[in-house]
Amino acid sequence: MSVRVRRVYETPQPEDGVRVLVDRLWPRGLSKDAAAVDEWPKGLTPSTELRRWYHEGEASYEEFARRYEAELAAPEAAELVDVLRESAEEGPVTLLTASKSPDHSHAAVLAHLLQG
């Protein structure tokens, strides 16, 4: 299974496979053609409340990850996780985020969940 995380602003690569935008909002200043996004399942993104809470700066990444995993366990999100996992079993999947720190973002949490 191949799941990786990249910034959506990076140039698409052939080895990206299926490119999945996992941000709730479309990245600023990026055209849809340049992004080359194959899927945009908004049901996999952190809730607005969780995202705002984390970006206030007082939350630890570990607590954010725990809360986001709990959101992903909800039936609708869990179904989307399963679909994405199946896709990753068939070929490479690249989770795309506009986050400046992809390794400390919801995309990294989702990638870990998919691979685990």
Bridge-partner residues for 18, per DSSP? Answer: 93
User: What is this structure's pTM?
Assistant: 0.93
Residue 55 is predicted with a pLDDT of 83
pLDDT of residue 66: 96
Quote the pLDDT of residue 56. 86
Q: Token pair for residue 63? A: 């607590």
List, as one string, the DSSP characters of 13-59.
Answer: -GGG-EEEE--SSPPTT--HHHHT-SB--GGGSPPHHHHHHHHTS-S
- pLDDT (tens, 9 = 90+) of the chain, 116 residues, equals 899 999 999 999 999 999 999 999 999 999 999 999 999 999 999 999 999 998 887 789 999 999 999 999 999 999 999 999 999 999 999 999 999 999 989 999 999 999 97
pLDDT of residue 5: 97
The pLDDT of residue 47 is 95
Give the model's pLDDT for residue 57: 78
Q: What is the pLDDT of residue 42?
A: 94
